[in-house]
Amino acid sequence: MPNPPAGMLANAFRDYFPPALAILALILLWEALARGLGIQVWLLPSPTAVGRATVEWAGLLPQHTFATAYVTLAGFLLSIVAGVAIALLVTISPFAMKTLYPILLGLQSLPKIAIAPLLLMWVGFGPASKIIIVFLVCFFPIVVSTVTGLTSPPLQLIDLARSFATPLWRIYLKIRIPFAVPYLFIGLKVSITLAVTGAVVGEFVAAKEGLGFLILNGVQQFNTPLAFSAMIILGALTVLLYGCVALAELKFVTWQPRSN
């Protein structure tokens, strides 16, 4: 049902105006309180102070943003490759399902943050330790959602395919993998938000750059406006990455599994 452009604009206005207004009101209230109550800038900077800090550090922020974006994306992409591969393996081989899956479940019960200091010891301060943390955080939701998707086709459909003596790879190509795609995207959307958190956790433990590093340093050196600025960029980065996954979902997912 394509709406006429005017109608679409009106709809967009109706959808986006109330939240935009609420956010603006919140910022104004924050500014008014910070000024009116005379709160120290290192305790709670006003929005204008955060804005000033952002402009002041504008030369440095991109470098740190890219550092965080890099480890987030690298860990996320690695976890997609490995997660999908493991999901294929455990659905194809009952032996792998029995041996590998319980181990994965056990590993998942370890808090990833607890592993961070160890990783530091093993692979050092560089981006590798952050990429591994992001990978570990993202990996599990992707495996679980992909396994669910690959095993979601009705048994009778698999029977039908088997009745044509269809080779296993073709059952995957034509039936199981297409069935898994919407489920995979559920996992990806969960993972991408976890990914940013994972990167920041890694940077908190020890780093030479990144938005997490800026936040920690900002707070330690009483440069709270800078910490806020980094935090807001971090939020924007998460929204941007999530938006990219959602866009890819719109492009690749042409049907939605019905809950039965």
Partner 1 sequence: MAAAVELTAYVVAGVSRRFTVEGGAPIAALDDVSFSVARGEFVSLVGPSGCGKSTLLRLLGGLDTPDQGHISYGGHRVEGPYAGVGMVFQQPTLLPWRSVVENVLLPIELMGESRSLYLDRAHALLDTVGLAGFTDRRPDELSGGMQQRVGICRAFIHDPGVLLMDEPFAALDLLTRDEMTLELARICQARPVTVVFVTHSIAEAVMLSDRVAVMSARPGRIREVIEVALPRPRGPDAEANPVYHDTVRRIKSLIYDSGAMRRNTS
**Residue 162 lies near partner 1 (rule: CB under 8 A):** yes
Interface with partner 1 (CB under 8 A), residue from 22, 23, 160, 168: 160
CA-to-CA separations, 259 to 77, 164, 250, in angstroms, rounded: 29, 29, 19
Q: Looking at 79-87, 173-181, 188-196, 207-215, which segment touches partner 1 (CB under 8 A)?
A: 173-181
Of 103 and 165, the one with the shorter C-beta distance to partner 1 is 165
Residue of the chain from 165, 220, 251, 259 that contacts partner 1 (CB under 8 A):
165
Instruction: CB nearer to partner 1: give 10 or 168.
Output: 168
CB burial of 215-252 (b: ≥16 within 10 Å; e: otherwise) equals bbebeeeebbbbbbbbbebbeebbeebbeebeeebeee
| Span of 24-32, 58-66, 160-168, 196-204 interacting with partner 1 by CB under 8 A | 160-168
Q: Which residue has the tokens 């006429």?
A: 4
Residue 164 binds to partner 1 (criterion: CB under 8 A): yes
> Is residue 177 part of the contact set for partner 1 (CB under 8 A)?
no
Tell me how far, at minimum, the Cβ of 145 lies from partner 1, in Å.
Answer: 18
Angle at 84 between CA 169 and CA 126, to 5 degrees: 145
Rounded to whole angstroms, the Cα distance separating 243 from 246 reads: 5
Among 109, 156, 220, 259, binds partner 1 (CB under 8 A): 156
Q: CA 180 → CA 84, 173, 246, distances in Å?
A: 10, 11, 16
The reply on whether position 161 binds partner 1 by CB under 8 A is yes
Does residue 259 touch partner 1 according to CB under 8 A? no
Q: Does 168 help bind partner 1 (rule: CB under 8 A)? A: no
The answer to whether residue 159 forms part of the interface with partner 1 (CB under 8 A) is: yes
Do residues 67 and 52 make contact, with C-beta atoms less than 8 angstroms apart? no
Q: From residue 247, how far is each of 61, 78, 166 by CA, in Å?
A: 26, 20, 34
Task: Report the residue from 35, 98, 174, 208 that binds partner 1 according to the rule CB under 8 A.
Answer: 174
CA separation, residue 84 to residues 92, 119, 166, 189 (Å): 12, 24, 22, 15
Q: Which residues bind partner 1 (CB under 8 A)?
A: 154, 156-157, 159-166, 170-171, 174-175, 178, 254-255, 257-258
